[in-house]
Amino acid sequence: MPKRALITGITGQDGSYLAEHLLGEGYEVIGMVRRSSTVTFERIAHIQDRISTVQGDLLDQASMIDLLRTWKPQEVYNLAAQSFVQTSFGQPVLTGDVTGLGVTRLLDAVRIADPGIRFYQASSSEMFGKVVEVPQSETTPFYPRSPYGVAKLYGHWITVNYRESYDLHASSGILFNHESPRRGLEFVTRKITNTVAKIKLGKANELRLGNLEAERDWGFAGDYVKAMWLMLQQDSPDDYVVATGETHSVRKFCQIAFGHVGLNYEDYVVIDEAFYRPAEVDLLIGTPAKSEAKLGWKPEVGFEDLVTMMVDADLALLEGRLSGLH
Ligand code: NAP
Ligand code: F7E
């Protein structure tokens, strides 16, 4: 019998890569999708005939108890969230409800429906925020700097709490930024690569950005979903940092992205106060030592390759050489 996994957030960047990975491992994949007036299946269109999508929402616990009882998955990957930091300042309560309390709703649904289910929580390096230690590891104290980071911290601790209180096989992956051609256009990496492609093709003439000095530990999403899966294959649940161990500034990202198409970023980037945040996370750099030692996980795509892969994909998309986000 193939294993069955439920992914919340399957329509997002990570959900689509994780679904592909689990299909490759021979899983039956169920994706929880929320009701919307237009369908948001762009990232999973190419595998839609190989997965089942079912309606449910992190805001509605009954929907999740119901679908766990009906589909009886052995593994649940909770990737759904209001995941954009900037939006979390404007919609802090919604972010807390979905990204924070939503985790409790799902964990409790697991406890009620089948406490034997293995559970993955998508925690975030945003929990380190104003970092108190460099690089950040599983033992670094947290100091979140946004309503999103605070909500993720709640999600992390409730995962630990359900593991300790009810003996759930619940793991928390503290993932640093990971990007891909499927990244949402509002995040800085994809905003840059998409605009670079537009400028190169004569469809835009400037790129408006906020803080160019912010530094992130950026990896490739396709690599990171493998770590999620590996966590649930371990005998015991645990917390793991997933990162590359390198950090680069937004400015450096711009330099490489523009340089890749023969342009100088200084000719096009315009600083716009609208993209500054009320509180910033200046520097993130993680150590993946535990993931490497215990999971045997290593990032495969390096920083420059990631940037150029994203620029090339955006060029292909805009030129009509790619039909979708895959
Ligand atoms: P994403 O592209 O923004 O996808 C978020 C997903 O959550 C979408 O499928 C969205 O559905 C779904 N969703 C939002 N609200 C929901 C609700 N109320 N009920 C059910 N589903 C809901 O995010 P991502 O980059 O793939 O990230 C996946 C997870 O990892 C998120 O939890 C994120 O916070 C976390 N994370 C991401 C990173 C990163 O660098 N990417 C790093 C650390 C942690 P719609 O399509 O309907 O909007
Ligand atoms: O910002 C700066 C901005 O929005 C990165 C999410 O996946 O990773 C992501 O959160 C940096 C910030 O990602 C613009 O101020 C400058 O310092 O791409 P971002 P994020 O906030 O790091 C973490 C790990 C998650 O968990 C989240 O879900 O770039 N920046 N100018 C800008 N950022 C944006 N978005 N737009 C700009 O114009």
Whether pTM exceeds 0.85: yes
What's the pLDDT tens digit per position in 226-242? 999 999 999 999 999 99
Do 172 and 188 lie in a common domain? no
Amino acid identity of residue 125, one-letter, is S
User: Which domain range does residue 232 map to?
Assistant: 4-178+218-242
Do 51 and 105 lie in a common domain? yes
Tell me if residue 286 falls in helix, strand or coil. Answer: strand
**Active-site pick, 126, 171, 265, 291:** 126
**Active-site pick, 16, 88, 123, 124:** 124
- Tell me the ligand closest to 121's alpha carbon: 1
Do 113 and 206 lie in a common domain? no
Average pLDDT over residues 91-114: 98
pLDDT of amino acid 324 = 76
Average pLDDT over residues 124-145: 98
- How many angstroms is it from 128 CA to the middle of ligand 2? 14
Evaluate whether residue 295 is within a structural domain.
Answer: no
Residue 276 is among the residues annotated as catalytic for this protein = no
- How many angstroms is it from 299 CA to the middle of ligand 2? 20
Read off the pLDDT band of 218 (50, 70, 90).
Answer: very high
Q: Are strands 248-249 and 215-216 parallel, antiparallel or unpaired?
A: antiparallel
Do 162 and 306 lie in a common domain? no
**Active-site pick, 27, 148, 162, 224:** 148
pLDDT of amino acid 323 = 77
Question: Could you tell me which of 224, 213, 186 has the C-alpha nearest to residue 280?
Answer: 213
Do 136 and 110 lie in a common domain? yes
Q: Are 218 and 187 in contact (CB under 8 A)?
A: no
Evaluate whether residue 323 is within a structural domain.
Answer: no
Evaluate whether residue 293 is within a structural domain.
Answer: no
Average pLDDT over residues 119-144: 98
211: CB partners within 8 A, 6+ apart: 250, 275, 276, 277, 280
Evaluate whether residue 294 is within a structural domain.
Answer: no
Evaluate whether residue 232 is within a structural domain.
Answer: yes
Do 193 and 129 lie in a common domain? no
What's the pLDDT tens digit per position in 161-185? 999 999 999 999 999 999 999 999 9
CATH number at residue 256: 3.90.25.10
Q: Are 108 and 166 in contact (CB under 8 A)?
A: no
Do 250 and 236 lie in a common domain? no
pLDDT of amino acid 65 = 98
Evaluate whether residue 289 is within a structural domain.
Answer: no
Residue 25: is its pLDDT beyond 80? yes
CATH number at residue 77: 3.40.50.720
Do 90 and 235 lie in a common domain? yes
Residue 124 is among the residues annotated as catalytic for this protein = yes
Total structural domains in the chain? 2
Do 101 and 235 lie in a common domain? yes
Residue 326: is its pLDDT beyond 80? no
- How many angstroms is it from 189 CA to the middle of ligand 2? 8
Do 200 and 235 lie in a common domain? no
Produce one character per residue of 248-262: b if its CB has 16 or more CB atoms within 10 Å, e if not. Answer: bbbbbbbbbbbbbbe
